[in-house]
Amino acid sequence: MHGRPRKSATPVDENASALKAAKIRSLQSQFLENHHNHIYTKEALEINAKLIECNPEFMTAWNYRKLAFEHNISSQSESEKADSDHIKSIVDEELRVVENALRKNFKSYGAWHHRKWVLSKGNSSTERELRLLNLFQKQDTRNFHAWNYRRFIAGLKNISDEKELQFTTDMINDNFSNYSAWHNRSVLLSHLLEKKVEGYFPKEIFLKEEYEFVRNAVFTDPDDQSGWFYHLWLLDQTVKVDMPNLVSSWPPHGSEITKTTFPVILLFNEPVEGVNLHTVSVQVENDITKNTTWSPLSANKFKCGQAWLTHLTIPPGEFNSSKIFQVKISSEYPQGIISLNGVPCSRNWSFAFGVSVCHDVQPEGHSLRISMGEENFSTIDVNSNMMNFLKSNFDLATDYEQPTSSKWKSELIASEIDQYRELLSWAECKIGKLTLARLLMANDAMITDTAVAPNMTHVEEVLQLYSELMELDPTHYQCYKDEYSLVFLKQVTSSKESLMKYCCQYKESMSLNITGNVCLRFNSLSLSRMGSFERLLWVQSLDLSHNQLHSIEGLEALQLLSCLNLSHNKLVSFMALDPLRFMKSLRVLNISYNEIGAHTVDTRRYLCSSPLSHTLDYDKRFEEFATSDEKVVNFWDAYSVFSGLDIMQLDITGNAAVDERFVLFLVKLFPGLKWLDGEELH
Amino acid sequence: MAETESYPPIDPTNFDLIVVGTGLPESIIAAAASTAGKSVLHLDPNPHYGSHYSSLTLHDLTSFLNSQSPNPRINPHQSTTEASDHATAALDLITRPLYSDVEISSYDDSVSEHSRKFNLDLAGPRVLFCADLAVDLLLKSTANQYVEFKNIDSSYVCDGNGNLMNVPDSKSAVFKDKTLKYSEKNQLNSFFKLVQGHLEAVKSVGTGVDEGKVISEEDLERPFVMFLDKMKLPPKIKSIILYAIAMVDYDQDAGESCKDVLRTRDGIDRLALYHASVGRFPNALGALIYPIYGQGELPQAFCRRAAVKGCLYVLRMPVISVLLNKDSGNYKGVKLVSGQEITSDKLVMDPSFTITSSPSEALQDVSKVFDAGKVSGKLARGICITKSSLKPELPDTSSCLVIYPPRSLYPDQATSIRVLQLGSSLAVCPSGMFVFYISAVCDDALEGKKSLHAAMDSLFSVHTSGTTDSSLTDQIESTEVKPALLWSALYVQDLIEGFMGPVVMTPTPDGNLNYNDLLRATSKLFQQLYPDDELFPEIQNTDSSDKLEDDSEVDIES
């Protein structure tokens, strides 16, 4: 139950609990004896039932009951088999034991599970179940076990979703501060929508009413989060593009590149699988290339990713030609590309570019240290051809048709915006602000006509809302900061004029074949997250120093990146650098002055592949490392990030994890390393 | 007289306490004194329990009202009684009329045919709040085992335009309400939260938690209406809070001329009581409950409690005089209509008694009690019977409360008018009929009757027996269907407060919707009577405190 203070135990209580413990111990030893000897007699079951009544959390006892149940059902005599009452009595006994256990503790996982298990065996009536549920849901309306069980019973008894939806309405009317009820509502509406039940399909039919329903909750008590959480679901239902879609690619359509080997990047709006020879065609001079292999830029076991990569070498055989090769990449069978939810792409797309052959300049002989200091840059002359470079990259990179939003969606969002503006006019509340910020962004995204620049009408207001939230609700500061960063980046990357302000030109002395001509400098902007990658696929040199980044998730899409400055950020572990694994072009990396190794407990570590993880292939090379120095096993996380990279220049000082031994490990790991922390290696 | 002979003799003839009248305050005192081990004789001149708090059949109600109103009538014991003993003086008691301007109208014979199927409250409209003192006292005294309750299905308040709107009295009611604007929902619930925050902060004072949420002492002493203004609540919300939740009588916006200004401190207490009532018992859907078979069940429940503890009951036994010690003027006992004299240490009487003549100097002390029981105010009450509900479109609503805040019915309406509709499921009327109780505090009968009539005009239509104006009736009916009035009784009741002297006078039913003020007064009287005894001490049982919280303790039929 909620909101009940805990009382400290009195001596009387303690005495009682000691007695209870003694009782449980004795029952437990008898039970384990029976369990061990596979004794499933009535007496043995009674001992077990008593034990469960004392301690409903004892999983072994429940498992024993399952074994006994199966044993007794299958070993019954012929005469008993004919007697359906016999089976019924066994089932009823199980249900009775569960019910007693639930009366003792209605949040017992084992008991609820056992009940489901018994009922799913059939052989029993489910009449009692709804009555039992009503009892438990009255006792604690927010008991998620009961809600969970309710869904199970509704499925078993074929209770209509509409009827269950009405039940959630009643529960919410009783007390709208009930996550479980709102959640079940979203589940039921999704079912109804999926089954295209009349009155619930298409979704605009119910969305409007649901917005009004939940508005009553949010406006009555803007500090209550349960309704707001449902509002988030509604908003997601409203703005969600129902299918995966290509949002950006590289090389740009209509561009001309002068490299013989180059990456091709497909960036989707959500992780997809199925990008391969059959679904995507690559044509060079109208000949379909048969040997392209696409790989996702992520290491999860589902073989899917938001960004997909292949490398092309043009021309395939003949050299010394000055011809420009036309390359066309198009969707061959978009339905084969499917999202994690199993929704296929349905839109065709294609882009074409020219490749003029020139021999790649070998990077040899460049031993100069590349610095990203202020003195190495000059601002871009608006009239220079740099502007043209940016223009060609920028305008074309995102020229894909996006699904146009329906009118009802924009109307719905616009009316919600008006409502939340009104709410904020009476009350300063964080949920109102956050919701308004999200609505405004959704609104802008909806009325974006992708042929021109994205709609940024409300971006200043949204940024203002997030800054206010950071002050209003310091507990969730980081969350608002991340949102702020993403919105800010969206704004900056929305037009080439605004992006131009963050682009710098390298002075001539630099190694342009490594850094490219232009460096994108998002330094000292107090960013905590990086985003808007779909507009940055062309970037070769990126300065993110002096920010508050704690993650670089998504950065792997920038396959051209060769120069990356992440110094003076808040990266706490090598795990946070995981996207670097995919950035094979990376030559210059600065991760100095972060917090790597400074926090002994790394809460993100579990998210990452470990040497034991099945997502990481067995690596013989690491074994070699490990045997040469037993301490090196401690660097497996750094190894898993860096092992495939060919870094020439690395700055890593100013991190707690860096010591002499680690430096030696790095030198060994990067044979091509020329500069380490500003010192030239020999 | 043959009747006199039928009065049974009472044995023993000496008690610790004699209680005359079986109204709620008297019954509680009798039960509490019996529980504390006193020997108690409980008498009532009427053939039924409850005195002015009883629920009666239609005919009994009519005759009781008439018997207690100032008709020129002869006191049967007019001749001055003599005490049997020369050291004793006798002060003759007569009934003082508590009711005036009784006006009974019947528009349909079917009502009086069913007379016995009615249980009409003399002191209606009245309900219990789930968390109020009456419920606590029932639980504490265990008298709750003799009463069953049902909840009042809904409550309505009349807005400025004469429309009845639901009272959004809790967070979930605000959420569900269909008439409030979103801004109003926010304002109302924010105010509920502010009060709740204050109460929690007050509770945890000293722990340093949430002390910022405490409402300032200055604000607490201000009129509640000013505090509501300070919180920028619009008139509609203010009216809901003041009249439909805090149940204030007088117009709080009248400024200086308002007779009874509610302070913020008390307003917050009333709001807290209301909110503690919502959801106290899982079976009760709202804040308010009503006893099945009528309010008269409550004094009866306490009488039964008292009887279990050894209290002796004699109904139909008028007391004709109070016996005093001639020299000291101290109270000695009473003389019954049967002629029997019974002595006791203490005497408690309901307020419908007074003395005929001024006694001699030595007896002034006792007579003061009767003088003190002066009328402190007046209350207009009405009972109406119809065949249809106010909300026929809501089949689930058989009982409801309707509040007409001051000025909502006519411009110079000075006080709130409260109406309680009860259906046959509460066993107060035959099935298919509805009973309405109406009350308004007033200065005089004229004003009070005006309030009652205004509410009745707004609620009911009257079918006159003649057919002359049937076209007019039809016209009214076609525009809005109002329940047709079948029977009504209007009367004005005197309000008399309790008084503690050599003998104790209990208070008359007050003008409130619940019994809280009455029970506070009763409890005070009991403490003065028996300073060493507690009013129903907690039963010394380890889980008694849990029992109070136990949901099943108060029987509420759902």
Examine the domain organization and report whether B176 and B42 are in the same domain: no
User: Which CATH number covers residue B351?
Assistant: 3.50.50.60
Strands A287-288 and A280-284: antiparallel
| 3 state DSSP class of B196 | helix
Per CB-CB distance under 8 Å, the chain A contacts of B190 are 427
Best residue in A220, A230, A428 for a mutation probing chain B (most B CBs within 10 Å): A220
Q: What is the pLDDT of residues B386-433, one digit of tens each?
A: 999 998 887 776 899 999 999 999 998 999 999 999 999 999 999 889
Closest chain B C-alpha to A173 CA, distance in angstroms: 6
Task: Tell me what the mean pLDDT of segment B192-199 comes to.
Answer: 90
| Predicted local confidence at residue B328, as pLDDT | 81
Nearest residue in chain A measured CA to CA from B177: A216
Beta-carbon count within 10 A of A401 CB: 12
Contact A220 B183 (CB under 8 A): no
- Higher-pLDDT residue of A453, A538: A538
Examine the domain organization and report whether B333 and B371 are in the same domain: yes
Q: List beta partners, residue B149.
A: B291, B556
Asked which of A26-40, B200-214, B294-308 is least confident by mean pLDDT, the reply is B200-214
Examine the domain organization and report whether B506 and B366 are in the same domain: yes
Share of chain B above pLDDT 90, in %: 55
Examine the domain organization and report whether B260 and B331 are in the same domain: no
Share of chain A above pLDDT 90, in %: 33
Contact A220 B187 (CB under 8 A): no
Binning pLDDT at 50, 70 and 90, where does residue A141 land? confident
Task: Tell me what the mean pLDDT of segment A64-78 comes to.
Answer: 84
Binning pLDDT at 50, 70 and 90, where does residue B125 land? very high
Contact B172 A215 (CB under 8 A): no
Task: Tell me what the mean pLDDT of segment A293-302 comes to.
Answer: 79
Q: What is the pLDDT of residues B312-359, one digit of tens each?
A: 999 999 998 899 888 888 889 999 998 899 999 999 999 888 876 666
How far apart are alpha carbons B525 and B531 in whole angstroms? 10
| Predicted local confidence at residue A508, as pLDDT | 63
Contacts of B5 (CB under 8 A, 6+ apart): none
How far apart are alpha carbons A289 and A312 in whole angstroms? 10
> Given CA atoms A436, A440, A445, A446 in this order, what sign does their dihedral have?
positive
Contact B186 A176 (CB under 8 A): no
Nearest residue in chain A measured CA to CA from B176: A173
Under a CB-based contact definition with an 8 Å cutoff, are residues B521 and B64 in contact? no
| Predicted local confidence at residue B71, as pLDDT | 57
Structure-derived torsion over alpha carbons of residues A443, A446, A452, A457, reported in degrees to the nearest 10? 0
Binning pLDDT at 50, 70 and 90, where does residue B121 land? very high
Contact A175 B183 (CB under 8 A): no
- CA neighbor of B503 nearest in space, from B93, B223, B211: B93
Examine the domain organization and report whether B210 and B243 are in the same domain: yes
Burial B58-97 (b: 16+ CB within 10 A, else e): bebbbebbeebbeeeeeeebeeebebeeeebbbbbbbebb
Asked which of A286-295, A513-522, A529-538 is least confident by mean pLDDT, the reply is A513-522
| Predicted local confidence at residue B333, as pLDDT | 92
Examine the domain organization and report whether B237 and B317 are in the same domain: no
Per CB-CB distance under 8 Å, the chain A contacts of B186 are 219-220, 222, 423, 426-427
Examine the domain organization and report whether B212 and B349 are in the same domain: no
Please check the confidence at residue A598 and state whether its pLDDT lies above 70: yes
| Predicted local confidence at residue A610, as pLDDT | 56
| 3 state DSSP class of A184 | helix
Determine the distance from the C-alpha atom of residue A9 to the mean position of all C-alpha atoms in its chain, rounded to a whole number: 44
Residue B553 identity (one-letter amino acid): E
| Predicted local confidence at residue A157, as pLDDT | 85
Task: Tell me what the mean pLDDT of segment B93-120 comes to.
Answer: 89
Cis ω before B125 (30° cut-off from 0)? yes
| Predicted local confidence at residue A575, as pLDDT | 83
- Higher-pLDDT residue of A5, B270: B270
Best residue in B181, B182, B196 for a mutation probing chain A (most A CBs within 10 Å): B182
Contact A220 B174 (CB under 8 A): yes
Under a CB-based contact definition with an 8 Å cutoff, are residues B216 and B227 in contact? no
Structure tokens at A392: 């060609």
Binning pLDDT at 50, 70 and 90, where does residue B213 land? confident
Per CB-CB distance under 8 Å, the chain A contacts of B175 are 172-173, 176, 216-217, 220
Q: What is the pLDDT of residues A471-517, one digit of tens each?
A: 999 999 999 999 999 999 999 988 888 888 898 887 765 556 666 67
- CA neighbor of A541 nearest in space, from A300, A310, A372: A372
Contact B185 A216 (CB under 8 A): yes
Per CB-CB distance under 8 Å, the chain A contacts of B182 are 215-216, 219, 419, 422-423
Please check the confidence at residue B471 and state whether its pLDDT lies above 50: no
- CA neighbor of A162 nearest in space, from A133, A192, A186: A192
Please check the confidence at residue A218 and state whether its pLDDT lies above 60: yes
Contact A220 B175 (CB under 8 A): yes
Whether B536 is covered by a domain: the verdict is: no
How far apart are alpha carbons A578 and A581 in whole angstroms? 6
Please spell the DSSP secondary structure of A236-297, one letter per residue. Answer: HHHH--SS--EEEEESPTT-EE--SEEEEEEEEEEEEE--STTTEEEEETTEEPS----EES
Whether B458 is covered by a domain: the verdict is: no
Nearest residue in chain B measured CA to CA from A421: B183
Examine the domain organization and report whether B265 and B355 are in the same domain: no
Per CB-CB distance under 8 Å, the chain B contacts of A426 are 183, 186-187
| Predicted local confidence at residue B558, as pLDDT | 59
Q: What is the pLDDT of residues B175-190, one digit of tens each?
A: 999 888 999 999 999 9
Contact A422 B183 (CB under 8 A): yes
Examine the domain organization and report whether B181 and B272 are in the same domain: yes
Whether B273 is covered by a domain: the verdict is: yes
Under a CB-based contact definition with an 8 Å cutoff, are residues B165 and B159 in contact? yes
Binning pLDDT at 50, 70 and 90, where does residue B472 land? very low
| Predicted local confidence at residue B448, as pLDDT | 93
| Predicted local confidence at residue B466, as pLDDT | 45
Nearest residue in chain B measured CA to CA from A140: B282
Examine the domain organization and report whether B198 and B269 are in the same domain: yes
Examine the domain organization and report whether B263 and B178 are in the same domain: yes
Task: Tell me what the mean pLDDT of segment A412-421 comes to.
Answer: 92
Q: What is the pLDDT of residues A75-92, one digit of tens each?
A: 776 666 666 777 888 888
CA-based R_g, chain A, Å? 31
Q: List beta partners, residue B41.
A: B18, B312
Binning pLDDT at 50, 70 and 90, where does residue B469 land? very low
Whether B165 is covered by a domain: the verdict is: no
ipTM of the complex model: 0.77
- CA neighbor of B400 nearest in space, from B556, B484, B480, B285: B285
- CA neighbor of B49 nearest in space, from B68, B64, B66: B64
Examine the domain organization and report whether B310 and B371 are in the same domain: yes
Question: Structurally, how many domains does chain B consist of?
Answer: 2
What φ, ψ does residue A486 adopt, rounded to 5°?
-65, -40
Task: Tell me what the mean pLDDT of segment A333-355 comes to.
Answer: 86
Please check the confidence at residue A263 and state whether its pLDDT lies above 50: yes
Whether B220 is covered by a domain: the verdict is: yes
| Predicted local confidence at residue B475, as pLDDT | 45
Q: What is the pLDDT of residues A88-126, one digit of tens each?
A: 888 888 889 998 898 888 888 999 999 999 888 876 677
Per CB-CB distance under 8 Å, the chain B contacts of A427 are 186, 190
| Predicted local confidence at residue B476, as pLDDT | 46
| 3 state DSSP class of B353 | strand
Whether B144 is covered by a domain: the verdict is: no
CA-based R_g, chain B, Å? 25
Which of A397-406, A531-540, B2-11: highest mean pLDDT?
A531-540
Give the range of the structural domain holding residue B359, as residue numbers without chain letter.
2-97+293-375+498-529
How far apart are alpha carbons A671 and A667 in whole angstroms? 7
Q: List beta partners, residue B442.
A: B378
Nearest residue in chain A measured CA to CA from B175: A216
Please spell the DSSP secondary structure of A586-637, one letter per residue. Answer: --EEE--SS-TTT-SS-TTGGGS--TT-TTSPP-HHHHHHHHH-GGGGGGHH
| Predicted local confidence at residue B474, as pLDDT | 46
Count of A–B CB contacts within 8 Å? Answer: 43
Contact A419 B182 (CB under 8 A): yes
Contacts of B153 (CB under 8 A, 6+ apart): B285, B286, B396, B397, B398, B399, B400
User: Which CATH number covers residue B242?
Assistant: 1.10.405.10
By a Cβ cutoff of 8 Å, what residues of chain A touch chain B?
138, 172-177, 215-217, 219-223, 419, 422-423, 426-427
Binning pLDDT at 50, 70 and 90, where does residue B552 land? very low
Q: What is the pLDDT of residues B56-67, one digit of tens each?
A: 999 999 999 988
Which of B172, B176, B186 is closest, CB to CB, to A222?
A: B186
Contact B282 A138 (CB under 8 A): yes
Please check the confidence at residue B307 and state whether its pLDDT lies above 50: yes
Q: What is the pLDDT of residues B291-303, one digit of tens each?
A: 999 999 999 999 9
How far apart are alpha carbons B527 and B522 in whole angstroms? 9
Nearest residue in chain B measured CA to CA from A227: B175
Please check the confidence at residue A342 and state whether its pLDDT lies above 70: yes
How far apart are alpha carbons A409 and B516 in whole angstroms? 55
Q: What is the pLDDT of residues A547-591, one digit of tens each?
A: 999 989 999 999 999 999 999 999 988 888 989 989 999 999 999
- CA neighbor of B277 nearest in space, from B124, B401, B376: B401
Closest chain A C-alpha to B175 CA, distance in angstroms: 5
| 3 state DSSP class of A60 | helix
Question: Which residue, of B222, B253, B277, is where some domain finishes?
Answer: B277
CA atoms within 13 A on the CB side of A480: 22
Per CB-CB distance under 8 Å, the chain A contacts of B172 are 173-176
- CA neighbor of A454 nearest in space, from A379, A524, A342, A534: A534
Contact A426 B187 (CB under 8 A): yes
Closest chain B C-alpha to A447 CA, distance in angstroms: 28
Share of chain A above pLDDT 70, in %: 83
Under a CB-based contact definition with an 8 Å cutoff, are residues B351 and B495 in contact? no
| Predicted local confidence at residue B74, as pLDDT | 44
Q: What is the mean pLDDT of chain A?
A: 83
Structure tokens at A71: 């044993």
How far apart are alpha carbons A583 and A559 in whole angstroms? 6
| Predicted local confidence at residue A603, as pLDDT | 64
What φ, ψ does residue A10 adopt, rounded to 5°?
-90, 165
Nearest residue in chain A measured CA to CA from B232: A426
Nearest residue in chain B measured CA to CA from A427: B186
| Predicted local confidence at residue B120, as pLDDT | 96
Please check the confidence at residue A422 and state whether its pLDDT lies above 70: yes
| 3 state DSSP class of B377 | strand
Residue B354 identity (one-letter amino acid): T
Whether B479 is covered by a domain: the verdict is: no
Per CB-CB distance under 8 Å, the chain A contacts of B174 are 220
Binning pLDDT at 50, 70 and 90, where does residue B477 land? very low
**What are the distances in angstroms from CA A8 to CA A13, A61, A100?**
9, 30, 26
Whether B211 is covered by a domain: the verdict is: yes
Structure tokens at A356: 């003029």
- CA neighbor of B92 nearest in space, from B105, B100, B101, B83: B83
